[in-house]
């Protein structure tokens, strides 16, 4: 059974979440030729799908400015190839 999106307080320092956030920034940079630098995870939500969908608010350095972005990353760790997929990466809404 798939669930709704739920807040996951305290997950900002979870090693798997931080790794997924770094992956999201790296994928975004590769796909768009951007040069964002990961700073930290600010907020996490998750949803059970086929695997887990993470909604991660990420603080990055964009040039000299700190910016917030929202990433949507699907994680299916049992897959040998491409267990992670970046579905969305956009500036965070206020």
How does pLDDT run across 33-82, given as a tens digit for each residue?
999 999 999 999 999 988 999 999 999 999 999 999 999 999 998 998 88
Quick one: pLDDT at residue 94? 63
Q: Which residue ranges form the domains of the chain, and what is each CATH number?
A: 6-91 (3.10.450.10)
Cβ–Cβ contacts within 10 Å for residue 27, how many? 16
Quick one: pLDDT at residue 50? 87
Quick one: pLDDT at residue 26? 98
| pTM for this entry | 0.92
For 51-77, b/e burial (b = at least 16 CB within 10 A) is: bebbbbbbbbeeeeeeeebbbbbbbee
């Amino acid at each position: 059974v798939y669930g709704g999106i739920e807040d996951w307080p305290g997950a900002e320092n979870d090693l798997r979440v931080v790794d997924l956030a770094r992956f999201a920034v790296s994928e975004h940079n590769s796909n768009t030729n951007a040069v964002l630098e990961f700073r930290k995870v600010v907020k996490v939500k998750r949803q059970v799908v086929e695997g887990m969908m993470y909604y991660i608010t990420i603080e990055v350095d964009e040039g000299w400015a700190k910016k917030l972005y929202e990433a949507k990353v699907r994680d299916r760790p049992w897959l040998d190839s491409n267990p992670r997929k970046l579905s969305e990466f956009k500036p965070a809404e206020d």
